[in-house]
Amino acid sequence: MEHSKAMSGLFITFEGGEGSGKTTQINRLAQTLTAAGHKVITTREPGGTPEAEKIREFIVQREGGDWSSMAECLLLFAARVMHVDKIIRPALEEGKIVISDRFTDSTRAYQGYGRGFDLAKMEELNDMVLGGFGPDLTFILDVEPKMGLSRSERRLAAEILDAAQTEDKFERMDTSFHEKIRQGFLDIAANEPERCRALDATQSIDDLAEAIKTAALERLGA
């Protein structure tokens, strides 16, 4: 698979189920790497560009629509190609470190393992759209689904505010769906051990941040 090795920057992604604490760890790593003198940008999927943020509303909002797994997959890759072309590739070519909250692994886990879209077809689509482009380093934050859902900030906010439009479409799905997602992420980590680091997301924030920092600095040194 073509990663960003041909470019001078480094592409790092964070993956995991709901409530795994990705946002906190992304911010911690960005601060650490910036303090070390690196130019860092953080972004998210689906999103990152105005076009992709519009697509995000269709996919993650509670009232965003009843899309099939194939339709969701196509929407995600449409958003992703804009994200890569407008944000990620240019930053990598400038020697920056790009840290993204989710990338293609989330599509594999959610739409593939979770919703049953054919994984072989998804890889064909990935190759066609992105030419196999992917991250250099991926942190998969693993948490048991019931625990993750119980601490999901979006779900808690929705319960408190009773918001009509909230990004909790997937959090509201049953536990078996989230178990499939978790297995998907663990399979991805096992299949690509050089790229992926599966980490226990239930450990303390500081311990998790230290493990992430160590792995990121090792990759940068390599």
Residue with tokens 């879209």: 117
End-to-end CA distance of the chain: 18
CB 135 within 8 A of CB 80: no
Quote the percentage of the chain above a pLDDT of 70.
82
Measured between alpha carbons, how far is 26 from 21 in angstroms, rounded to an integer?
9
Residue 143's CATH number: 3.40.50.300
Instruction: Give CA 51 to chain center in angstroms.
Output: 18
Total Cβ atoms within 10 A of residue 94: 12
pLDDT digits (tens, 9 = 90+) for 166-208: 544 555 667 888 899 999 999 999 999 999 999 999 999 999 9
**What is this structure's pTM?**
0.86
Total Cβ atoms within 10 A of residue 74: 17
Enumerate the H helices of 140-199 as residue ranges. Answer: 145-150, 153-161, 175-191
Domain around 208 = 4-221
Tally of structural domains, the chain: 1
Question: How confident is the model at residue 60, as a pLDDT?
Answer: 75
Q: Check whether 2 has a pLDDT greater than 60.
A: no
Question: How confident is the model at residue 152, as a pLDDT?
Answer: 59
Q: Which two tokens stand for residue 78?
A: 């449409």
Measured between alpha carbons, how far is 156 from 150 in angstroms, rounded to an integer?
8
Residue 59: pLDDT band by 50, 70, 90 thresholds? confident
pLDDT digits (tens, 9 = 90+) for 28-47: 999 999 999 999 999 999 99
Residue with tokens 């944000």: 87
Classified as helix, coil or strand, 89 is helix
Q: How far is CA 222 from CA 5, 102, 103, 154, 158, in A?
A: 11, 24, 23, 37, 43
pLDDT (mean) for 150-168: 51
CB 102 within 8 A of CB 135: no
pLDDT digits (tens, 9 = 90+) for 70-94: 999 999 999 999 999 999 999 999 9
